[in-house]
Structure 1
């Protein structure tokens, strides 16, 4: 399938959200209701969490964000589609990734405005039925947004966080039809990688395990608080190794959607897995309390192995479940 109509729908939705900024609330409501089902199920990072209904999504998320980021626009780096491999949540899904960009002119979530350009890094999945978006998972890096406003939500991270670029190959916008065999090849490789990742016990040294599915010069674009890292050796040292050492009792992986097209693939869960911090994590002490990880992962395959990975983790939700309200602690304003 080419997924032309579904891709066109999501692109028009983004365009309507951007141009509705002639900026009345009614325009934004119209943009959401025009393209989304009235019964839309929307999942977002803390403090938004799960929202039901197109009007509620506009009132609770898009309206406040657009009033804070003057001239908000989508800058998309990755865009592709696929049939979900999980039949219980099946159908056609569109995945996109990039930044929401605007001038940070009004307070958002207690974060004080800078009057300067700001980027909210995001990834989104949209399920399409009957020419409407009926389900969305939209994950966004609020801690990185906080850093741009001069706040420091976390201790120093093991990797390095930047305004993250799109694919090195500049071919992430899959607006046209692609060979379905290539998408299946990507999905098969992601499945092998996910099985290795989920076991934490392949019997191989960590770097040897990673070399089964990753290029030696892989790029892992992690969230603020963890950061990005480059090459298998540094990824093992700066994230994968410390992460595995920090947690025990990792649950099985539970994804809602996994799709692939061409050299790109992605998945998300709600949550993806649960694990117990027993060795300290992100510079904070272990609690021994199970914590849920809401994650979107996007991948670029190059040849027979994975080359780039973009990761969105709801660290605000994870830490609030551990008894630490990072957003309230950093801004001084508690969210519902």
Structure 2
């Protein structure tokens, strides 16, 4: 397992991107991205094609809004994608983009204060260039830092989330193949247990099969973060399962691991019908799409930490509720 070339592509891009003026970002991206690279971003961005579109729609407005932007990376790893038979190589970065919120962004009024935009990015590297990207970011989390309340009170804690407890998430050097296989196996076991919601075990016993008792679930704004199996079951998992039915099978576009870290994303990961009560919202007859990134840290043979990015703005829009417009008052924000 040698991912130095692929990791290097992303690290060179980040160094150039993070130091570039807004009007140079298109050219910086073009040096690393294929002209027809597919970029997937949370609502309201969706799918974009090519570096210029990504620069104009996402990066330039963000950089103008958040001055003195700084990348605070907590996790960085690479791996071969189990979903395509371990053919493709993806590089994963997770952390926060921090800046001074000096100009409006997506209709959100600036505060002049520090804000943190949670992000996680998967980049597929092919021939020394970026061929495909999933860039997920927690917009409601940023909104809540400015004093807005896009959702009813959440069941778990709203926090600016730290990186791994072990402070070893930046895998610039390649990790052990045996450790990587063990992490992917733990993630797959969890998917097998939790992906159907039909294990037949009491919820906390089911969770204990693959999770450490002192697990931490770093959930998105609107749901929140929760600690220990008992509180995770009470503050997220049980309410979530109770509020949904007709859950589709899990579908991922990429699933990989390196060392003690791993994760996946889908577009969407699954669909389900909301019967009512989740996040204090009414039910619907329409199935909704869950676009999700999950990043995991394994400890021993159990999963110890999990960082989750869910495109809740997209999910609720599929249910007929435009959270961004409702909160900012700006149509098409």
Q: Same fold (TM over 0.5)?
A: yes
Distance 2:206 2:191 in 1: 12
Counterpart in 2 of 1:10?
Answer: 10
Query: Is 2:304 the partner of 1:314?
Result: no
**CA pair 24-220 structure 1, distance change in 2 beyond 3 A:** closer
Counterpart in 1 of 2:182?
Answer: 185
The partner residue of 1:305 within 302, 306, 312 is 302
What root-mean-square deviation, in Å, do the aligned CA atoms of Structure 1 and Structure 2 show?
1.1
Quote the offset at 1:2 in angstroms: 2.2
Quote the offset at 1:86 in angstroms: 1.5
Instruction: Name the SS of the counterpart of 1:282 in structure 2.
Output: helix
Query: Is 2:164 the partner of 1:167?
Result: yes
Counterpart in 1 of 2:19?
Answer: 19
Counterpart in 2 of 1:79?
Answer: 76
The partner residue of 2:217 within 202, 205, 220 is 220
Work out the number of aligned pairs and report it.
333
Counterpart in 2 of 1:93?
Answer: 90
| TM-score of the aligned structures, taking structure 1 as reference length | 0.97
1:110-125 aligned within 5 A: 110-125=107-122
Q: Deviations over 1:174-193 (max 9, x none)?
A: 00021111101000110010
Which range moved further: 239-248 or 2-11? 2-11
Quote the offset at 1:144 in angstroms: 0.5
Q: Deviations over 1:119-150 (max 9, x none)?
A: 10000100001111110000000001111111
Quote the offset at 1:24 in angstroms: 4.5
| TM-score of the aligned structures, taking structure 2 as reference length | 0.98
Distance 2:39 2:69 in 1: 20
Instruction: Name the SS of the counterpart of 2:110 in structure 1.
Output: coil
Which range moved further: 219-228 or 68-77? 68-77
1:146-295 aligned within 5 A: 146-295=143-292
Distance 2:147 2:194 in 1: 35
Moved over 2 A (4+): none
**Could you list the runs of 5+ residues in structure 1 that have no partner in the other structure?**
none
Which range moved further: 80-89 or 91-100? 80-89
Quote the offset at 1:90 in angstroms: 4.0
Contact 1:18/1:71 (CA < 8 Å) preserved in 2? Answer: no
**Could you list the runs of 5+ residues in structure 2 that have no partner in the other structure?**
none
Distance 2:73 2:327 in 1: 29
Contact 1:74/1:101 (CA < 8 Å) preserved in 2? Answer: yes
Quote the offset at 1:107 in angstroms: 0.5
